Amino acid sequence: MDVYQPIKQKEIERAYFFLTHKNLFKKIAYALAIFIIVVIYIFLIIGIIGVVRNPNFDNMAAQINSSINWAAYHSARAPEPLFSGASKFLSLGENRYNLVSFVENPNTNWAAGSFKYKFIVNGQELETKETFLNPGEKRLLLRMSYESSQPINDLKMNLGDVSWYRVDNDIPQIAWDIREASYFPSRTITEEGKDLKINPLVTWQAQNLSLYDFWEVDWQIALFDG
């Protein structure tokens, strides 16, 4: 059976018309789609206006607003203040002291982007410095080789101007397992008939419990007597 069918002249003309007016058909389709979207938005806007103008809408909004204590809501989610431990001083002799204070951020989802601190020695305020604290971080604040003509009888730490910003709870935290810290005081040994002075030494073991790798880590060491 011969399936060949000759193409009619009208079919050729129809195909030619579609090919030569293809861009026009695209423009018509785009215009129709835009028209449908505009009509949908118009109906949505009319519906929203109708809901807002409904007297029951104000009553519903007032009920929702009165049922929620927004002051208590924000207060419960506000960051807790930074915690500062007891400040201590270490005498270096010759009227020089190292001033030490621990500060901690007790919040797990708030970071102190910046805060200012200053030591107060015998009622006298020292210069103000600035640093930051990550969520849950503890830090040692130091003032090295502070000179005082009078013995230190009172030492305090003042914190202020904290700038908070919220962070996600799923951010991996940097955590260390520090153990077996040991202090070896300075001593003198004799080797080959010569006296050698060995400087003080502190050793410890640290394990990185976080998901990060570190090429280099700086450590702070504080020695306390008694």
Q: How far is CA 156 from CA 133, 138, 170, in A?
A: 20, 18, 36
Residue 162 near residue 115, CB atoms below 8 Å: yes
pLDDT of 141-189, one tens digit each? 988 888 888 888 889 999 989 999 888 766 566 778 888 888 888 888 7
| Closest to 81 in 3D by CA, of 50, 48, 107 | 107
Residue 40, both tokens: 């949908």
Q: What one-letter code names the amino acid at 120?
A: I
pTM (2 decimals)?
Answer: 0.51
Tell whether the model's pLDDT for residue 115 goes beyond 90. Answer: yes
Q: Mapping DSSP to helix (H, G, I), strand (E, B) and coil, where does residue 193 land?
A: coil
Residue 75's φ and ψ, nearest 5 degrees, are -65, -40
Count of residues for the chain? 226
Q: What one-letter code names the amino acid at 100?
A: V
